[in-house]
């Protein structure tokens, strides 16, 4: 492709690997999330997929979307990256979308909880980091500002993850419409008090905040949120050019994803992957994970204090005991779940074995009946053959007797 992804710069900011990064894409179906991620990392994370048929009314009423994770190993200039992509299929596809962001928040909290559990072990090796380091929220290019659903979702995610708003399919808007739409979206974000990630100078992202993007050279390219992006799965090489670009073909012309004059995809990727990836990871740990950890410990401390009839404040030892009890209960619950899963799998295997045994027995009986029928048929044929042989012998004897009588005459 035309450009490098940029994560080959990670050894310049980290002392040792392995390198891990988790990115989440949130937005309605049809806004180009899969194409954006494919173009962002210059590989086919998602192959061609058929558009699903419209869901039934009951499915829309009951559906709240799901969260799926996919981990791939990427390499650029000898640098290996374990990339985890978190997708949200079915997001905002219901008639009533109240709480459609709950599965997303739950997935982020589960990753935090898993990291906290591994980090709190007495004997531990390197902790695998599956926390969401960046959430790209796709805004529909309506030209009329944020919807109530967009504000609710972004408000629910702002203190959970580094939130980066982007305008999807920005090539559908004219230059003037895009400028006005970006201003309107930022005004809505500011009025709603939503904290978004800021690409600060020198890679020191705010990890939440609403200030202007630093435009100094150390901050990378000049870019103002929300970031207008377009993506495509169609590769095309210009005449005489060796490298291919991802483009969108229109009757009146071609939009080049890699052309900064057409959209802000390449500058955004340079900031997101090439310059600020390490800061996104550190911001996740220092801000969002620490907030989650503090709230978790305070919750356990309150439970410990309540168990003592609120007579004295919870001591550090009481907090430790409460935390120990919490993890013991979590471990017991996990063991129960694993036992239930094991028993279910054993039961399923036993049923499969019984079904197979019954099937084999039925086949054996059918084969046995078939063999007996063949045996009876062969016996009948043998008897008929023996009778025919006897008749032939008798006929030959009679013929021989007649010939002898003629000779004597």
Domain ranges of the chain: 7-293
Highest mean pLDDT of the ranges 30-44, 50-64, 71-85, 134-148: 134-148
Contact 17, 80 (CB under 8 A): yes
Predicted local confidence at residue 406, as pLDDT: 76
**Distance from C-alpha of 220 to C-alpha of 275, rounded to nearest angstrom:** 7
Q: How confident is the model at residue 60 (pLDDT cuts 50, 70, 90)?
A: very low
For 300-341, the DSSP string reads: HHHHHHHHTTTSSPPPHHHHHHHHHHHHHHHHHHHHHHHHHH
| Region 7-293: CATH code | 3.40.50.300
pTM score, two decimals? 0.66
What radius of gyration do the chain's Cα atoms show? 36
Q: Which residue, chain included where needed, has tokens 């993890």?
A: 327
**Distance from C-alpha of 402 to C-alpha of 356, rounded to nearest angstrom:** 68
Residue 144, token pair as written in the block: 């009329």
What percent of the chain shows pLDDT beyond 90? 32
Q: How confident is the model at residue 319 (pLDDT cuts 50, 70, 90)?
A: low
Task: Choose the weakest-confidence range: 90-94, 167-171, 299-303.
Answer: 299-303
Contact 37, 268 (CB under 8 A): no
Residue 218 clears pLDDT 50, i.e. is over it: no
Q: Which residue, chain included where needed, has tokens 């982007």?
A: 166
Residue 176 φ/ψ, nearest 5 degrees: -65, -40
């Amino acid at each position: 492709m035309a450009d490098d992804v940029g994560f080959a710069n990670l050894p310049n900011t980290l002392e040792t690997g392995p390198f891990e990064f988790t990115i989440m894409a949130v937005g309605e179906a049809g806004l180009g999330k899969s194409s954006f991620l494919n173009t962002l990392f210059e590989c086919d994370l998602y192959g061609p997929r058929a558009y699903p048929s419209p869901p039934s009314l009951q499915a829309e009423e009951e559906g709240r979307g799901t969260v799926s994770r996919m981990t791939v190993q990427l390499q650029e200039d000898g640098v290996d990256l374990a990339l985890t992509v978190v997708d949200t299929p079915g997001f905002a596809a219901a008639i009533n979308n109240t709480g459609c962001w709950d599965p997303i928040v739950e997935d982020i909290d589960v990753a935090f909880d898993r990291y906290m559990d591994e980090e709190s072990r007495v004997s531990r090796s390197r902790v695998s980091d599956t926390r969401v380091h960046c959430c790209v929220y796709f805004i529909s290019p309506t030209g009329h500002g944020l919807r109530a659903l967009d504000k609710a979702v972004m408000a629910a995610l702002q203190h959970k993850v580094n939130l980066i708003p982007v305008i999807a399919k920005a090539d559908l808007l004219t230059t003037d419409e895009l400028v006005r739409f970006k201003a309107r979206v930022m005004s809505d974000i500011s009025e709603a008090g939503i904290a978004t990630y800021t690409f600060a100078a020198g890679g020191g992202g705010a990890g939440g905040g609403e200030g202007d993007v630093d435009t100094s050279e150390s901050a990378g390219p000049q870019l103002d949120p929300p970031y207008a992006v377009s993506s495509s799965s169609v590769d095309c090489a210009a005449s005489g050019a060796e490298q291919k670009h991802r483009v969108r073909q229109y009757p009146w012309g071609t939009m080049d994803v890699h052309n900064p004059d057409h959209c802000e995809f390449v500058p955004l990727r340079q900031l997101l992957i090439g310059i600020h990836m390490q800061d996104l990871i550190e911001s996740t740990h220092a801000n969002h994970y620490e907030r989650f950890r503090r709230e978790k410990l305070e919750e356990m401390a309150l439970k410990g204090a309540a168990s003592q009839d609120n007579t004295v404040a919870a001591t550090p030892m009481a907090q430790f005991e409460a935390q120990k009890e919490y993890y013991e209960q979590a471990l017991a619950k996990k063991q129960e779940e694993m036992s239930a899963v094991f028993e279910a799998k054993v039961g399923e295997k036993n049923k499969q074995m019984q079904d197979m045994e019954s099937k084999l027995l039925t086949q054996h009986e059918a084969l046995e009946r078939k063999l007996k029928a063949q045996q009876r048929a062969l016996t009948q044929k043998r008897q008929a053959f023996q009778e025919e042989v006897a008749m032939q012998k008798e006929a030959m004897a009679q013929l021989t007797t007649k010939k002898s009588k003629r000779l004597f005459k």
